[in-house]
């Protein structure tokens, strides 16, 4: 009798306890299915990276002596649905049990659970052995509190795992050095060399195209640089700790047309498909600080993203599903402008951020939040449409982490459950943190007129039209105090300018 063990495309943890011993009665199954390529339109590099890493995982398991069944995208027997493929295989092998690791996305968790209830053989779910918390750890923490706050969660995690702690207190006397992480980058120090390995995935890419899978973005199949396996991910982590982390703290919010990576780790893909464990990434950053190799603000800022935000976001996701994607606090309904798919807009900041996303399948958190997300919220774009674009375009985007970041943090569509205020700005913030405004078709200082930066009028129009919903929010009182000082004609001019912009989104 055989036990089938299903490995999903974001469960590529070669160190999972499943693989600690070899047994002839266990068959590991990985499959490339249209179910997973087609639920949203995905970036070509995202499909390539996951399939290439899955094939590498299968090879490594086979080399270690495990039994592996790998179903490729172009296999004529592929039914392109995970449960259907498992049922066929189980019948062929007369399998007595199916085991699977806990899925991170609600849709897969629900699909496999519902299928298991009606299966002729038992299905058993085991832990993925990846996260530092359970699905419901955050909701348990906040059960007796009126409001969820990441900072409270983060401090508990720091204390629980004794990260950057000394005698029960945070090292350096502060929990959070966010105020030290907001410098603009003017060209020095230089962006570190991209030390990631290069792969030629042209054969795999042709398999994907021939199978009829639709995608968008630049595939870069002959010069592919995303990690293929755990060893490459470790090498990438080591290079980041040495060359990127020392400057990460200062410039983690900076944006530039001259350097798309700056000092970011680009480890989110390897983490989210589980090539790396968050604890080892945190440990290396902490060790670098204690060794005097990186400033405290840099180590703390990086660790906060993983130990704090990443685990917290997962808790929010599982507490709010399955209806979280339906949240639409402002009732925004507008479709995405066509340039979300081409990058062809005269707004330099959006052109750069979107073109980078289309070329690299990656943008850092400020590009996602304060450029693309900022514009989307100000212009009243549909939160579900924005969510689906983010989920498709970014190589590290899996619903458990992307959905709360988009619906809650970026679009404030949950009405403040996740973020304490809408993250919007005029051109001033973008100019402060980047060189995007230089040479732009639009004037960053102008509010009214054909050449005025669209962010400026949209910013004030957003607050004016949402006064009833936002005026009592203490974190944005400054905006309303400024609006109160404006005469009615000025406000009317903003509203008229904003209406012209919104009516002509595709031509901006």
Residue for token pair 């400020």: 366
Residues 188 and 311 in one domain: yes
Residues 169 and 290 in one domain: yes
Task: Report the pLDDT averaged over residues 51-78.
Answer: 97
Token readout for 302 is 């990086």
Token readout for 288 is 């670098």
Residues 144 and 216 in one domain: yes
In a domain, 295, yes or no: yes
Number of domains composing the chain: 3
What's the CATH number where 233 sits? 1.25.40.80
Task: Report the pLDDT averaged over residues 83-94.
Answer: 96
378-389 pLDDT per residue, tens: 999 999 999 999
Nearest Cα to Cα of residue 184 among 253, 238, 91, 284: 253
Instruction: Return all residues near 290 (Cβ < 8 A) that are at least 6 apart.
Output: none
Residues 289 and 147 in one domain: yes
How far apart (Å, rounded) are the C-alpha atoms in residues 489 and 306? Answer: 47
Residues 389 and 446 in one domain: yes
Residues 305 and 414 in one domain: no
Omega before 72 within 30 of 0, i.e. cis: no
Cα distances (Å, whole numbers) of residue 448 to 263, 378, 451, 480, 493: 36, 16, 8, 20, 7
Domain boundary at 292, 320, 348, which? Answer: 320
Residues 277 and 193 in one domain: yes
Residues 480 and 354 in one domain: yes
What's the CATH number where 113 sits? 3.40.50.620
In a domain, 332, yes or no: no
In a domain, 255, yes or no: yes
**Structure confidence at residue 180 (pLDDT):** 75
Residues 222 and 272 in one domain: yes
In a domain, 83, yes or no: yes
In a domain, 333, yes or no: no
Residues 146 and 256 in one domain: yes
Confidence of residue 477 (pLDDT cuts 50, 70, 90): confident
**Structure confidence at residue 148 (pLDDT):** 85
Residues 355 and 475 in one domain: yes
Domain boundary at 291, 320, 349, which? Answer: 320
7-35 pLDDT per residue, tens: 999 999 999 999 999 999 999 999 999 99
**Structure confidence at residue 268 (pLDDT):** 97
Query: How many CB atoms are located within 10 Å of the residue 451 CB?
Result: 11
- Collapsing DSSP states into helix, strand and coil, what is residue 68? strand
In a domain, 174, yes or no: yes
**Structure confidence at residue 181 (pLDDT):** 77
Domain boundary at 73, 106, 126, which? Answer: 126
In a domain, 326, yes or no: no
393-428 pLDDT per residue, tens: 999 999 999 999 999 999 999 999 999 999 999 999
Determine the distance from the C-alpha atom of residue 483 to the mean position of all C-alpha atoms in its chain, rounded to a whole number: 34
**Structure confidence at residue 424 (pLDDT):** 96
Confidence of residue 157 (pLDDT cuts 50, 70, 90): very high
Inform me whether the pLDDT recorded for 60 exceeds 90: yes
Omega before 322 within 30 of 0, i.e. cis: yes
**SS3 helix, strand, coil % of the chain, rounded to 5?**
50, 5, 40
433-454 pLDDT per residue, tens: 999 999 999 999 999 999 999 9
HSE on the CB side for 231, CA within 13 Å?
4
What's the CATH number where 347 sits? 1.10.579.10
Confidence of residue 311 (pLDDT cuts 50, 70, 90): very high
In a domain, 81, yes or no: yes
Inform me whether the pLDDT recorded for 456 exceeds 90: yes
Inform me whether the pLDDT recorded for 287 exceeds 80: yes
**Structure confidence at residue 337 (pLDDT):** 98
Inform me whether the pLDDT recorded for 346 exceeds 90: yes
Residues 9 and 157 in one domain: no
Inform me whether the pLDDT recorded for 327 exceeds 80: yes
Domain residue limits at 266: 137-320
């Amino acid at each position: 009798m055989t036990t089938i063990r299903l490995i999903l495309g974001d469960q590529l943890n070669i160190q999972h306890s499943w693989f600690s011993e070899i047994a002839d009665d266990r068959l590991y199954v990985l499959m490339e299915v249209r179910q997973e390529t087609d639920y949203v339109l995905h970036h070509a590099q995202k499909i390539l990276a996951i399939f290439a890493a899955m094939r590498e995982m299968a090879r490594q398991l086979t080399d270690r002596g495990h039994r592996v069944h790998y179903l490729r995208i172009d296999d004529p027997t592929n039914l392109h649905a995970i449960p259907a493929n498992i049922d066929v295989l189980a019948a062929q092998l007369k399998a007595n049990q199916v085991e699977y690791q806990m899925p991170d996305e609600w849709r897969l968790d629900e699909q496999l659970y519902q299928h298991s209830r009606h299966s002729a053989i038992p299905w058993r779910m085991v832990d993925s052995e990846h996260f530092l918390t359970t699905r419901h750890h955050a909701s348990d923490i906040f059960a007796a509190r009126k409001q969820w706050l990441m900072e409270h969660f983060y401090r508990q995690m720091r204390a629980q795992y004794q990260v950057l702690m000394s005698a029960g207190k945070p090292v350096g006397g502060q929990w959070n050095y966010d105020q030290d992480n907001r410098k603009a980058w003017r060209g020095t120090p230089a962006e570190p060399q991209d030390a990631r390995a290069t792969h030629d995935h042209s054969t795999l890419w042709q398999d994907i195209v021939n199978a009829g899978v639709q995608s968008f973005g630049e595939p870069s199949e002959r010069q592919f640089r995303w990690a293929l396996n755990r060893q490459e991910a470790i090498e990438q982590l080591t290079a980041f700790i040495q060359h990127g982390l020392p400057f990460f703290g200062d410039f983690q919010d900076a944006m530039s047309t001259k350097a798309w990576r700056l000092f970011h780790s680009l480890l989110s893909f390897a983490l989210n498909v589980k090539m790396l464990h968050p604890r080892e990434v945190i440990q290396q950053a902490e060790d670098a600080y204690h060794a005097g190799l990186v400033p405290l603000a840099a180590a703390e800022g990086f660790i906060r993203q993983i130990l704090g935000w990443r685990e917290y976001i997962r808790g929010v996701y599982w507490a709010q599903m399955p209806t979280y994607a339906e949240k639409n606090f402002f009732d925004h309904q507008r479709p995405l402008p066509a340039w979300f798919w081409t990058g062809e807009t005269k707004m330099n900041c959006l052109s750069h951020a979107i073109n980078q996303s289309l070329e690299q399948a990656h943008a850092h958190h400020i590009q996602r939040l304060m450029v693309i997300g900022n514009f989307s919220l100000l212009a009243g774009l549909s939160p579900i449409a924005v969510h689906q674009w983010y989920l498709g375009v970014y190589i590290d985007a899996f619903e458990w982490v992307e959905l709360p970041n988009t619906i809650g943090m970026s679009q404030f569509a949950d009405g403040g459950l996740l973020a304490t205020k809408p993250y919007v700005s005029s051109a001033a913030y973008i100019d402060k943190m980047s060189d995007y405004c230089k040479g732009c078709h639009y004037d960053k200082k102008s509010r009214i007129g054909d050449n005025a930066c669209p962010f400026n009028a949209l910013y004030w129009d957003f607050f004016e039209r949402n006064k009833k919903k936002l005026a009592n929010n203490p974190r944005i009182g400054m905006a309303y105090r400024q609006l109160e000082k404006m005469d009615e004609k000025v406000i009317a001019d903003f509203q008229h300018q904003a209406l012209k912009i919104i009516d002509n989104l595709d031509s901006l």
